[in-house]
Chain A
Amino acid sequence: MNTPRPQRIELECGPVSALDLALYAAASGDHNPLHLDADVAKAAGFERPVVHGMLTMAFCGRLLTSHFGVAALRSLSVRFLGAATRGDRVVLRGTLTSVDKEGVAIYELAGHNDAGQELVAGSARVSAPAHKTAP
């Protein structure tokens, strides 16, 4: 049950293109022009269209599923601290904070863009990896 877990996990995503934002708008149903229209973003005080917070959170999901598989994820929780904008790379890090008796690990999550601006902070619970039965 006490499977060793990596102390730190990391994933770099992006740079987030205009196409990524358009695809995410279509896939998610969030068509807010702040993410798509440079003029709307400028009027709201951003130099470029804003990356959907949920796209940054989806990258957090990829950080975890790429290491542990989607079926092992018990919870995922983030606070949005800042907004990435079009063209940014998004770097996500997870740090192991504890593993309980059932083998459920807690990772603290942090994400920033390539300018070093904080984007998200959060945590995830990951259950012990399922042992694949031999075919």
Chain B
Amino acid sequence: MIDSRHIGFATQPSTVAVDPWRVQLFCQAIGEPDPIYRDESAARDAGHPACLVPPTFLRAIEADHCSAAEILKILGIPVASVLHAEQSFEYHAPVHVGDRIEVTRTLIDSYDKRDGALTFIVLDSHFRREGDTVCESRQIIVVRNPKE
């Protein structure tokens, strides 16, 4: 169980730029061939104002803001003992290359299962562009606690 005083912990908002080079590298890593992520004229031809980003790219922006590893460090939990249990994204508006995205993360809940063998940590992220929410995401981490 984590100390309950950590529930509600929120990061200070910071702004991360969506860098074309980063998006291109991300596409290369995931085997994404669609030119709308890297070729501005292809994006315009498809009716978009600029290149888009792949659906899970915001995790990279989130890591630049404050990674799960950094939050685990604050909680005193070794990274080697955790697994990523669940991840979800709610999309409100498309994110484009060149956007500046403000990110905050909040530890909204934590609970134990299997008589304390597992601790679940629920982290929500909020992504805004010029004040408007473009995406909300949730990461659930499971900590395998050492046997006492």
Residue ranges of A at the interface with B (Cβ–Cβ < 8 Å): 13-14, 20, 23-24, 26-30, 32, 34, 44, 53-55, 57-59, 61-62, 64-66, 69-71, 73-80, 122, 130, 132-133, 135
CB–CB B86/A130 < 8 A: no
12 pairs from A and B in contact (CB 8 Å cutoff) = A23-B25, A27-B26, A29-B60, A29-B63, A58-B54, A62-B54, A65-B34, A70-B54, A71-B94, A73-B91, A76-B55, A77-B87
Q: How far is the CA of A66 from the CA of B30 in the complex (A)?
A: 13
Whether, in the assembled complex, B6 has its beta carbon less than 8 Å from a beta carbon of chain A, the answer is no
The answer for the CA separation of A44 and B79 in the assembled complex, in Å, is 12
Q: Which of A29, A61, A79, A132 contacts B55 (CB 8 A)?
A: A61
* CB interface residues, B 80-116, toward A, < 8 Å: 80, 83-91, 94
- Residue contact B89 to A76, C-beta cutoff 8 Å: yes
Query: Contact: B79 with A32, CB < 8 Å?
Result: yes
Candidates A14, A26, A65; contact of B25 at CB < 8 Å? A26
B residues in contact (CB < 8 Å) with A:
22, 25-26, 28-32, 34, 36, 45-48, 52-56, 59-60, 63-64, 67, 69, 79-80, 83-91, 94
Decide if A65 touches B88 in the complex (CB within 8 Å).
no
A65 to chain B minimum Cβ distance, whole angstroms, is: 6
Residues of A within 8 A of B69 (CB): 32
Pairwise interchain contact B59-A54, C-beta atoms closer than 8 A: yes
Q: Separation in Å of the B53 CB from the closest CB of chain A? A: 8
B32 touches A27 (CB 8 A): no
With contact pairs A28-B26, A58-B56 given, residues A75 and B85 touching in the complex (Cβ less than 8 Å): no
In the docked arrangement, what's the CA distance between A74 and B45, Å?
A: 22
Whose C-beta in chain B lies nearest to the C-beta of A64? B55
B95 nearest in chain A by CB position = A70
CA distance A71 to B55 in the complex (A): 9
Residues of chain A within 8 A of B46, CB atoms compared:
69, 132
Contact B30 A59 (CB under 8 A): yes
Q: Contact at A28–B88, with CB atoms within 8 Å? A: no
Neighbouring A residues of B90 by C-beta, 8 Å: 74-75
Contact at A75–B88, with CB atoms within 8 Å?
yes
Whether A28 lies near B59 (C-beta < 8 A) is yes
- Give 6 nearest A-B pairs by CB, closest first: A29-B63, A77-B88, A23-B29, A61-B55, A24-B29, A27-B26
Separation of A132 and B48 alpha carbons in the complex (Å): 10
A28 and B55 contact, CB distance less than 8 A: no
Contact A58/B30 with A29-B64, A71-B48 known, Cβ cut-off 8 Å: yes
